[in-house]
Chains A and B, each alone.
Chain A
């Protein structure tokens, strides 16, 4: 069933008494960009580290292509850790060729792939500079190449957009989309929710080591109780309607929340009865609002 799918299956991890992950479960399908969002400390990095075998899980399994991920599979994963790092005193090209070889490429293939990416990302003039002598932006490019140079079958990127300038953000988005189009499952975490919303096919929201919501962006935004915005009718028209709760009123605009089974057409009829309606629409929360709701639920629980 799981051709090319990266499956995170009920992964748990404790650090002493702290529960870092509790049965974390989700999957990233082939050719899909999956955005991983959550507060700091929610467990995103721990999940990725476990997927890469850098950390051992207490329980659960990570599978790719239907089989548990082992060292041979991990070589085919492209990884960008949260803590960026390369050998500071090694030349950019030499270092990338080395990393590509560690991922199983022959020396010739490694050089070819490295040169291709160096060209593509405009690092040609800097290829024989020590990494520590590169500008921050160029270091980030080298770091991205390090994750991509071995033509990975899976991409796992921890905060790939953090600290990038707008041009680099566009470049990174383009590269990630291109990789997904190659059929690669791409998992990345980010705090830039607008970016995730725009870029990702699906997102997963993590809280306290658990996946609390995951799905397509549209799907998620339409999940939860239906909210409607009605502009035009005077206040009070909605009070007393069965299954309808007024959430907010602002001038002529009223936001109502429908309980399950309530009919939006009845709400419209009631509003029209009270006066002319200039706007009647379904309110879809942005990913940021969804995220805030999830976080506030955490505060409540």
Chain B
């Protein structure tokens, strides 16, 4: 019987028993539900970005220019006319209006509840200044053109680096990608450790190892569980992509199929690295109750890398610590995708990180295979790591 058939059989068992399990179906549905809720909330809250301005008395005359000024500043306003000032104030209190403008055109009063949008305030002030200027010009009987030097006076802007209009959405995408990767790698890596302990505690491992080699069992387990994880990540990514594009939650041309494929690639690399480590950690203990203490030190790593790296990345995407951390294979899969999403990872760094990861997967798998082989049949207590590495 060929090695690939053996590994295929083991992987097939892992895959089918897990995909059919209730916990997999429930967790996938749960994640999708959370995403849907997020989109719904965002869409509902998103409607609030249109400012509702009520005009009353003389101020009704500024409906057109105010809309124009606000639009110029990137704000959509919905203007309504309020017949009665007291009514308008009440509407502001009730939150039906964001702002009520009343009083004379030259010196209006803006009524708001507790906070006012600075953009709106700015638009109003421009409006009032323009009114004042026009009044002044009319008074001294000068044509509007005398204002030209004023209008034409401007500061020349010398831009050293082009701005990234997508910076915000990019950060959002990098965060979401990172979180999905951290959770998936930890979840399915831990599942490998649990699977190892299940075989060890139920003693079925002895029958298996009388037929197949330890590394074949571990490899099949990692591949099978990895495929289950890949399906879940694929579902999340696919649904996420569709939701993002249709709802406009993340308005971003850069969220493409390519981004998703890259995320899957990082999942695969990260999963293999951590699954081998966690499988070895699992083989050191004999019972599920002891497993937590063995895997926690390993599962903390991707979280730490992500949290530390991203906290430094958001204020300063090009900081050295994040750059260096993202090159360390244990942190690469959760940190480098964030840097790539922010557009601050040059291709040579990506290539180097991938090479380092592949090399470390080879080393870690070899080490893990050795630990696993030595520890998996030792039941009873907890096997010391050094003993497992030493004995042959």
The stretch among A36-44, A95-103, A115-123 that forms the contact with chain B is A95-103
Contact A85 B205, CB 8 Å, known A54-B377, A55-B377, A101-B9: yes
CA distance A86 to B208 in the complex (A): 10
User: Please, which residue of chain A has its CB at the minimum distance from the CB of B3?
Assistant: A71
Indicate if the CB atoms of A53 and B210 lie closer than 8 Å: yes
Indicate if the CB atoms of A75 and B211 lie closer than 8 Å: yes
Indicate if the CB atoms of A52 and B203 lie closer than 8 Å: no
Contact A74 B210, CB 8 Å, known A83-B379, A90-B17, A98-B9: yes
What bracket does the count of chain B residues touching chain A fall in? Answer: 20 to 34
CA distance A88 to B1 in the complex (A): 26
Kindly list chain B residues whose C-beta atoms are within 8 Å of the C-beta of A87: 198-199, 202, 204
Indicate if the CB atoms of B210 and A85 lie closer than 8 Å: no
A81 within 8 A of B: yes
Contact A77 B210, CB 8 Å, known A55-B377, A85-B205, A86-B202: yes
Chain B 1-26 interface residues, beta-carbon cutoff 8 Å to A: 1, 6, 9-10, 13, 17
Indicate if the CB atoms of A54 and B202 lie closer than 8 Å: no
Chain A 61-91 interface residues, beta-carbon cutoff 8 Å to B: 71-72, 74-75, 77, 79, 81, 83-90
Least CB distance, A160 to chain B, in whole angstroms: 14
Kindly list chain B residues whose C-beta atoms are within 8 Å of the C-beta of A74: 210-211
Indicate if the CB atoms of B204 and A86 lie closer than 8 Å: yes
CA distance A74 to B207 in the complex (A): 11
Kindly list chain B residues whose C-beta atoms are within 8 Å of the C-beta of A276: none
CA distance A79 to B207 in the complex (A): 7
Kindly list chain B residues whose C-beta atoms are within 8 Å of the C-beta of A59: none
Chain B interface secondary structure, helix, strand, loop or mixed? helix
CA distance A99 to B377 in the complex (A): 19
B227 within 8 A of A: no
Select one of A55, A88, A101, A146 contacting B202, CB under 8 A. Answer: A88
A104 within 8 A of B: yes
User: Please, which residue of chain A has its CB at the minimum distance from the CB of B204?
Assistant: A85
Indicate if the CB atoms of B1 and A104 lie closer than 8 Å: yes
Kindly list chain A residues whose C-beta atoms are within 8 Å of the C-beta of B212: 71, 102
CA distance A179 to B208 in the complex (A): 22
Least CB distance, A39 to chain B, in whole angstroms: 20
Indicate if the CB atoms of B210 and A52 lie closer than 8 Å: yes
Chain A 179-229 interface residues, beta-carbon cutoff 8 Å to B: none
User: Please, which residue of chain A has its CB at the minimum distance from the CB of B379?
Assistant: A83
Kindly list chain B residues whose C-beta atoms are within 8 Å of the C-beta of A104: 1
Kindly list chain B residues whose C-beta atoms are within 8 Å of the C-beta of A98: 9, 13
CA distance A90 to B17 in the complex (A): 8
Least CB distance, A175 to chain B, in whole angstroms: 18
CA distance A252 to B13 in the complex (A): 71
B298 within 8 A of A: no
User: Contact flags (1/0) for B34-71 with A, using CB distance below 8 Å?
Assistant: 00000000000000000000000000000000000000
Q: Tally chain A residues at the interface, Cβ within 8 Å.
A: 28
Contact A81 B17, CB 8 Å, known A74-B210, A101-B9, A102-B9: no
Select one of B1, B17, B202, B213 contacting A85, CB under 8 A. Answer: B202
Indicate if the CB atoms of B206 and A85 lie closer than 8 Å: yes
Indicate if the CB atoms of A54 and B209 lie closer than 8 Å: yes
Interface-central residue, B205, B206, B207, B211, by most chain A CB under 10 Å: B207
CA distance A77 to B206 in the complex (A): 13
Chain B 173-229 interface residues, beta-carbon cutoff 8 Å to A: 198-199, 202-213
Kindly list chain A residues whose C-beta atoms are within 8 Å of the C-beta of B377: 54-55
Indicate if the CB atoms of A85 and B211 lie closer than 8 Å: no
Kindly list chain B residues whose C-beta atoms are within 8 Å of the C-beta of A71: 212-213
Kindly list chain B residues whose C-beta atoms are within 8 Å of the C-beta of A49: 206
Least CB distance, A288 to chain B, in whole angstroms: 30
CA distance A146 to B208 in the complex (A): 11
Indicate if the CB atoms of A54 and B210 lie closer than 8 Å: yes
User: Contact flags (1/0) for B129-167 with A, using CB distance below 8 Å?
Assistant: 000000000000000000000000000000000000000
Kindly list chain A residues whose C-beta atoms are within 8 Å of the C-beta of B203: 81, 83-85
User: Please, which residue of chain B has its CB at the minimum distance from the CB of A146?
Assistant: B207
CA distance A28 to B1 in the complex (A): 26
User: Please, which residue of chain A has its CB at the minimum distance from the CB of B211?
Assistant: A102
Least CB distance, B377 to chain A, in whole angstroms: 6
Kindly list chain B residues whose C-beta atoms are within 8 Å of the C-beta of A90: 17
Kindly list chain B residues whose C-beta atoms are within 8 Å of the C-beta of A81: 203, 206-207, 210
Indicate if the CB atoms of B1 and A75 lie closer than 8 Å: yes
User: Contact flags (1/0) for B350-392 with A, using CB distance below 8 Å?
Assistant: 0000000000000000000000000001010000000000001
Least CB distance, B295 to chain A, in whole angstroms: 20
Interface-central residue, B10, B198, B209, by most chain A CB under 10 Å: B209
7 residue pairs from A and B, CB less than 8 Å apart = A49-B206, A54-B206, A55-B377, A85-B203, A87-B198, A87-B204, A101-B9
Per CB-CB distance, the 9 closest pairs between chain A and chain B, nearest first, are A85-B203, A52-B210, A85-B204, A83-B203, A81-B206, A104-B1, A79-B210, A85-B202, A102-B211
Q: What is the interface of chain B, defined by CB distance below 8 A to chain A? A: 1, 6, 9-10, 13, 17, 198-199, 202-213, 377, 379, 392
Q: What is the interface of chain A, defined by CB distance below 8 A to chain B? A: 49, 52-56, 71-72, 74-75, 77, 79, 81, 83-90, 98-99, 101-104, 146
Given contacts A52-B210, A54-B209, A86-B202, 11 further A-B contacts (CB under 8 A): A53-B210, A56-B392, A75-B1, A81-B206, A83-B379, A86-B204, A87-B198, A87-B202, A88-B202, A104-B1, A146-B207
